[in-house]
Amino acid sequence: MSTVDITNNSKLEEAVKYGATYMEQLARGLHTGKRPATVEGKNEGVNSDDWEDVWEGSTDLIPMPALTGELVTFKSDDSQDNPTGNGAREVVLEYLDYNGHLKEAVKPTNGTGEIIFDDLVYGIIDFYVSDGGTGLVASGDINLYRNGTPSRVYVNIKAGGNKSLSSLRTIPSNVKYMITGIIISGDTNGTEVAIRSTSTDRGGITDEFQYRTLVDVKDSAISICLDPPMVILPRSSIKASARKIGQGQGKVAVTINGYLEEVD
């Protein structure tokens, strides 16, 4: 079945005529049922021979909500993150519900006071500032965690930032993630980076994160084009992990590019 919207045929033909790439066509909304999707992650302290996930949290591995769903809470460590303050005034949580559907919840900040989200969360997609004071950035670190357990942080927005930089994503139930490119950069003397997923390269889903791509990085950025795309199935998860090579240690940033394609 074609995924090209008939109403967009003339625009698509024009885009092709003038050399627009397939990803540029997707960005213009010229293919029904497909939309670009990017995952960004950063770890500023890769210093172990063991794998550490690429995110800005304090634990080596990124925690995930229980399969039965959890209530989540957030708070800042700076009082200026409040509805009239100079920092983050409002945040958005994108998450998965019981059916694996993408949902969005908006909440005002409350400084160092806790704010709980209303629904059970089965997977976290993104967490970002939607309204703020100076620079539209958080004044302090804003942690999102299991309700009642502040030490179990799922994502965070660092002071001076406006969104979480966690490489972990769980794919909604109505789409598959087609990864077309990966960009890896760092300030290290040697780091190995792995893209890992519970979606296998054999078209199945497993309980464990399997290696899908392994890359050695030093101080220059690496851009990888995947053709054909790496397929991440609905209801599976993906993340980036890193570990030092030899004396290497330092910062690693990973950007995963691709598109979401609707499935029946």
Residue 54 CB coordination number (10 Å): 27
Residue 257 CA to its chain's centroid (Å): 11
* Neighbouring residues of 22: CB distance < 8 A, sequence distance ≥ 6: none
Query: Residue 237 in contact with residue 122, Cβ under 8 Å?
Result: no
- Residue showing tokens 């980036």: 240
> What pLDDT is attached to residue 27?
82
Domains along the sequence of the chain with CATH: 1-31 (no CATH), 33-60+168-262 (2.60.120.340), 72-157 (no CATH)
CA dist list (Å): 112 to 38, 73, 140, 153, 201: 30, 12, 9, 15, 44
Q: Per-block average pLDDT, block size 10, for the chain (264 residues)? A: 46 64 82 92 90 95 96 98 97 97 98 98 97 94 98 98 97 97 84 95 94 86 92 97 80 94 92
How many CA within 13 A on the CB side of residue 210?
13
DSSP notation for 174-225: TEEEEEEEEEEEEESS-EEEEEEEEE-TTS-EEEEEEEEEEEEE-SS-EEEE
Question: Which pLDDT value is given to residue 6?
Answer: 39
Q: Phi, psi (5° rounding) for residue 258?
A: 170, -150
pLDDT digits (tens, 9 = 90+) for 98-157: 999 999 999 999 999 999 999 999 999 999 999 999 889 999 999 999 999 999 999 999
The runs of H, that is alpha helices, within the chain are 9-17, 22-27
Q: What pLDDT score was predicted for residue 16? A: 65
- Residue 7: Cβ-neighbour burial (10 angstroms; 0-12, 13-18, 19+): exposed
Task: Report the chain's mean pLDDT, rounded to a whole number.
Answer: 91
